[in-house]
Structure 1
Amino acid sequence: MTMSGSSRGVSPPARIAIVVKGYPRLSETFIAQEILGLEQRGLALAIWSLRHPTERISHPMHRQIAAPVTYLPEYLYQEPLRVLRGALTALANPRLGKLIVAFWRDLKRDFTPSRGRRLGQALVMARELPADIRHLHVHYLHTPASVVRYASLLRGLSFSFSAHAKDIWTTPDWEKREKIADSTWGVTCTETGHSHLAALAPDDGRVHLVYHGLDLSRFPVPPAERPARDGSDAADPVRIISVGRAVAKKGYDDLLSALAALPEGLHWRFAHVGSGDMLASLKRQAAARGIADKVIFLGAKAQPDVINLMREADIFVLPAKEAKSGDRDGLPNVVMEAASQGLAVIATDFSGIPEFIRHDREGWLTPPGNWEALANALNLLARDPEARHRLGTAAFNRLRDDFSADGGIDQVAALLRRSLGERPAEVPVAEEEARP
């Protein structure tokens, strides 16, 4: 009896390891969207995470993703045998010298326990990566990229990166420059981020601008119409919502100051969705400003619940700004999710936000950190349901026409196929084509 070709040692398709800081995470739906989209385009993936999940809730997309997940030791002392096996295997690796040189240079400039932890995680990853992994792609250019860079040196694999927000603005330039130089390519999701990273790259084509966009097939169509609330009815107040982690760069301290400054005759309610270190502090600030009875903090919510809240709201607000640490947002997905429901958006003219929202066209933009301007915008839009309808409709149209997720995922898929040695179609270069 003869054996078919499929059963006689035919090699499985080459896989790509997608490396993330934590998985799954509700605040990183753009990563889940990309992973799912890459799988739907036929790429074989494996997910490697530096941390275990900390949230009980996951996004529906996470349940659709087929890629297996491997968790590296979050703290080395928790899994000493895995770390020891990784170190012993590395001792017999002829590439170890390259890793030691790179790590020692990094350690001299960043003498921290975190640096040693990234080395330990890289030793484990290099030992445990299956033979069919041919390329590494890492989300975030700070600590996850350190692990991937070290592991790639040991395994002799190419790696690429996707840079987003905090990792761009809080990582030292020397570290970004060397990681970009060692990578085969990278992508980032805003023009400001792209300009910054391209200036650190060794050549013009190393870093690409790729917007996350949004897959509108995952969202209901916007409501046909919304109630014409104008803040005059105490029984039917204007509903304001924001979605985001309670951290400094989201500007929620400015938002509470703005809400407290709204005229007494204007009736409104505000709901915040998200977890974060500053949540308890924000609740105290709301009480101190005398608006606790109008403000509710709902904590983290599943995506369907968030969309339902957006559909019931009148205004979405996100007053993003630069934190004292230098951390900042890119183009927050939640702004596009609000637009997917035709919701009027008030945000700040900061970072990647104005690349999507143009002032008085798809929303209203105010200067970052300026709570007086934010209060004025809230007051005017709360009283004007026709303006809210105009802005919300325009934001949805811009999202549909110019920020589809498919184009960005197609770009990343083409770049990944090229890294696997396949011959994809011409890779679109978004940075050479200005958006309208």
Structure 2
Amino acid sequence: MMMLIRNLLLGAAIFLTLPAMAVQASEPDVLPPYKMVRSLQYIQDTIILGDHSAAEMQSFLLGEIDKKLRSAERLVFDDPRNVDAAFIYAMSGGNPETLSYLADRDIEGNFDSRIVDALSHYLTGKGELMVESLQKVIPEYRTARIGPYLYLVLGNGMAQQNPKQSLKYYDSARLMSPGSNIEEAALRRSVALATRADMPDKGFAYSLSYARRFLTSPYASQFADVFVELAVANYSADTEGKVQEILSFMDGPRQREVYLRIARRAAIGGMQELASLAAKRAQSLSDGADTRENALANLYSGLVGVPSSDIIEAVNGIRSIPEADLSPRDRALRNAATAMAEAVLREPAADSLTQATPHKTDLQIEKSTGAEETGSGESPFAVSSPEPVQDLVQPAGDLQAASPQKNPPNPVLDAFLSTGRSKLGEIDALLGRE
């Protein structure tokens, strides 16, 4: 019944919005800036709720709003709704230079210089410079149209220096805009911040709220990454129930993807019990036809067996996995584990028995150049779209999603290799003493 009501309301919203969007597409000059920004907000909320095809319309609207704001007469901004529209546009993926352009032409004082300065610092990557000033101003805008956006910006700016206060600002932002892209962004970043600030209870609570509402968001894969980090870092019998509750809101493919990511993290971290458990659960969720997921589960469960007494069986198992079923990073991971195991099993040379210092092995590992660490490599959390989806007031620093690089580093693999070299050194040192 609730689903039927929701569909009816969504249909009515689309019916009422389409005429305005049609007018906008044909004659954008007819609409004032605030109405165009309302359409942008609707489109962005639609994308967050699963309609990723609307990304192209979002790009079109951002361009049209930019033209409208730059060509508007100064009298247009005597209407505070249009001033708010300019602020919201800047915080919704718009051109930050447009806000500066409008503020420079503002003779009447329609634009609050305090907000302009704060956003100028933030949007140019100097968020730490605006925190104190925005904290003083924000109570005046608590009930304003731009209030939720400002709280999100302030939460981003405070994330590094005061995580607890940052979470409070995120809470204010999402509670002021339920069901919107503001709530989605605030929740997703709250999960990441709580995880990295070692606040697992809050992290699981935020994760549950996100899983209930926004699994169809194009940013849900980012949520999955930080949730996996949270689950692995805080794995225990007490947290098992929380993890299961959160996963219960996901369909089979999404659950399997999360378990594969958990198994990978746990295998690299040497958490044998968790890696084996997650790998088995991923296999149980497989339909049997997808050999790729099964191959990954076998790889991750086999990796934790390398430093154990079952090392020969583990190596034979991961060697048998077809290379075509693994991503470049997982192939590199398998090669690293195999090389380490071969070094452990190799009979020591005569000169190594006289060594008093650890022996350094020379492992040549091919690093990947483009594959992302996403478990299966084909994440069910996000659907690709022809146009990039603009995240809302993107944060700087650790909370910002890393942009693709031509040759991205692989710190997880590096840590695995470092640990492996350390173990080999200890083994050689023991042999030397004998």
**Bin for the TM-score computed over the shorter chain:** under 0.3
User: Normalising by structure 2, what TM-score?
Assistant: 0.25
User: Normalising by structure 1, what TM-score?
Assistant: 0.25
Bigger-Rg structure (1/2): 2
Structure having the higher strand fraction is 1
